[in-house]
Structure 1
Amino acid sequence: MDTDMDSALARTIADSPVLGQLSDADRAHLLTYSREQAFGQGSPLFLRGQPAVAFYLVLSGTVGLTTAENGTCSNVLDIVGPGHLVGEEAVLDCGRHATGAFALVPVSAVAIQAEPFFAHLQDRFEVVQAMMAGAAARLRGLILEITELKLQSTTRRLAGYLVRLAGDRQGRVHIVLPCEKQFLAERLGMKPESLSRAFAKLRPQGVHSGRLDDVDIDDMEALRRFWQSSNDPWDD
């Protein structure tokens, strides 16, 4: 990698909630056994069952985590965006990947080799702790969302996803979905046609979906109130 690329990667790693806990010298050393990789849409970062020899820091694009056994991107469990790690939970126990990871759109990511990473971190337990905490937080989030899948209609599931995607933004909000609606439907536990119906049912709540990946929300607070309401006026 050239000097400019090294500098850009060092800044990205410094901004990572987990890897940013490393010192400047440690981050510079990490770059010696890491490399940036590009993945075309649909390409795997790793497959389910493969030995976990590396984990990845997503730089751009979105990655889908899937339980598919056949090396294809289907049964999407989670969608991971820039700044987040993927595959670190398998690396932590030196095991095999429990999920596959696929580029839902073109992805750039830093591949960090597991063996030198652990050798490097023998005396830096706080970073390993942070990785474990991040993996646990993701698991808690997935458990919460699985509970929602069982208890909420498709309309409320979609509303909740849009609320989480918008973060703390207020008022009128424009959102670009992180992946094709086919994969978003899988992520939310529904069929593509159910997702289309859910978008249609959210129009009275000020949600407007284009043909591609653009979503406009007239009033973010109104959508939050709908999502948090105990009454769901629509059945699937």
Structure 2
Amino acid sequence: MDADLVRTVAKSPFLSLLSPADLRRLVGYGAVVRFNAGDVLFAAGDGADRFHVLLEGSVGLCAPEASDAANDSVVLDLLSPGDVAGDEAVFDRGAHGVTARALLPSRTLAVAAGPFLEHLDERFEVALALLAGASARLRGMIHEITELKLRCTTRRLANFLLGLAGERRDGRVRLPLPCGKNQLAERLGMQPESLSRAFAKLRPHGVMARADDVLVDDLGALRRFCRADLDS
């Protein structure tokens, strides 16, 4: 078994509480699959026979009514490496409620549902660990909904960029965008022209948007800009 693959999967927030032995078994139930940009991992209505751990690239979860429009799908969520797609349908043994589409060339670990669910039947503590991971993800979704409801478009974008920066706190960074600008606007709940205006308003704060990435002169300054919104 590829030890590097096990270590990579262990970094997933959803799976990080699993023991090394359980992680190795989970990886053993899966296969690494590569997707080109635009490829569908699964479509809304498909039976959930596997879930995907994203290893590299970017995946959009798209609204069912837009599942046949490769270039115009409404992106409900953006997944980055470490995120999991399709697990909720596997757990309830139902069908996928959204379409998952690769937005960039991507690589996933596709975990077969059958042996994975049998593993859960054998090891209740694994189910508890996954439940803890799901709870953390739910808290993150509540935070994102709060962002969409209460923050202006400029600070919504700024917080998204800080999320792309991960654990980096200060300094100058280049942040590759996980999708096109139109899809990013959909994910942030705004029109493309509103996204352009938000980038323009962040320019005095050291943020420069380019075709496929964003340059941030000082992450610390961008964090202070966002904190000022909370303190106002």
**What percentage of aligned pairs have identical amino acids?**
52
1:225 corresponds to which residue? 224
2:33 paired residue among 9, 32, 37:
37
1:64 corresponds to which residue? 60
1:100 corresponds to which residue? 99
1:80 corresponds to which residue? 79
Count of residue correspondences: 227
Deviations 1:158-211 (A, max 9, x none): 01111222133212222111222221111101122211111011011111111x
Shift of 1:140: 2.5
Matched-pair contact (CA < 8 Å) for 1:88–1:131 = no
Shift of 1:32: 4.5
Matched-pair contact (CA < 8 Å) for 2:9–2:55 = no
2:18 corresponds to which residue? 21
Change beyond 3 A, Cα 1:102–1:203: same
The gaps in structure 2 that reach 5 residues or longer are none
* Residues in 1 aligned to 2:157 and 2:23: alpha-carbon distance in whole angstroms: 38
TM-score where L is the length of structure 1:
0.85
Matched-pair contact (CA < 8 Å) for 2:17–2:133 = no
Q: Secondary structure at the match of 1:21?
A: coil
- Quick one: which amino acid aligns to residue 21 of structure 1? L
Deviations 1:61-116 (A, max 9, x none): 01111223242452212111112211112212222222221101011111111111
TM-score where L is the length of structure 2:
0.87
- Quick one: which amino acid aligns to residue 51 of structure 2? F
Shift of 1:31: 4.4
2:195 corresponds to which residue? 195
* Residues in 1 aligned to 2:25 and 2:94: alpha-carbon distance in whole angstroms: 24
2:157 corresponds to which residue? 158
Q: 4+ residue stretches of structure 1 with deviation over 6 A?
A: none
Deviations 1:124-171 (A, max 9, x none): 222222322323322322222222212222111101111222133212
1:213 corresponds to which residue? 212
Shift of 1:7: 4.5
- Quick one: which amino acid aligns to residue 77 of structure 1? L
Matched-pair contact (CA < 8 Å) for 2:64–2:97 = no
Q: Which moved more, 1:11-20 or 1:119-128?
A: 11-20
